Structure 1
Amino acid sequence: MSAANSEHVIAIARSWLGTPYHDQASLRGVGCDCLGLARGVWREEVGPEPFPIPPYSRDWGETGPREVLADGARRMMTEVEPVAAGPGALVLFRMQPRAIAKHVGILTGPESFLHAYERLGVIEEPLTPSWRRRIAFAFLFPQR
């Protein structure tokens, strides 16, 4: 599976900047959560979503035997080592130790990423050491 053009992925993701936060939504300019942002980028870069997304909890401290988000991404994207992930990669963050990865962002540069954050909506911000150490998984969007 060939990877999508990273510059195009980033341009699409940046077109979502300012979209208000709305849990489990995925409509540019109207509302989305972090997964909704990734879903919207997927639709524009790759095509229709390959399967429906079941309802999910917002609990970043959720634990369990399965990395549900990572397992879903593996079904349709190429996994890369987080340290090797570059601009345009989808990254999954583990927000609390021992919790499953529940937050999603898209790298926009070596030191920046874009994500949807409650109360702030879709923003681009520095990939600080605090954010970087939370990256648990990374994936590449495939070509259409």
Structure 2
Amino acid sequence: MISLRLYYIWFFIICLVSTLIAGVLAAILPNSIGGVLTAVPYLIAIIFVLFRFLKQQRRAPTVQEKKRLTFGFTLIFWGYNIFGLLLGLFIFARKDPEIWQNFLLYLKQPQFLIAVLGMWAMLAIPLFLMTYWFYGPQAQRMVNKMFD
């Protein structure tokens, strides 16, 4: 089995850059349209990394590679999103400590946590399943078409 570290790095870089671009676009567009852009950076990154993987390896990922890539991409995506949330809170809370206190108060509210977890699951589960499928049967179809 090959090392997947380089593919994780590519995913992170592409996802981060496309997230920054999508963030600028979301600020310009109306809220109803801007919210859709949340998943676009993730999708751009998994497609780009899969093409890179297929061109370099000339095969589809094995079952174990597919699982590792899916879990790795999910952890990277949600990890840097959580880091960005906490960094933003830290930056803004330096000038107004009430922001951090309000955030901690919200975390103690069960309704808030349920709403946040529900919204997160509505995005995280489809992205995870899409990645798992895309790096499985779809990758095999792409290999057959590219190198047949």
Give the TM-score normalised by structure 2: 0.30
Question: Which has more radius of gyration?
Answer: 2
Give the TM-score normalised by structure 1: 0.30
Higher strand share: 1
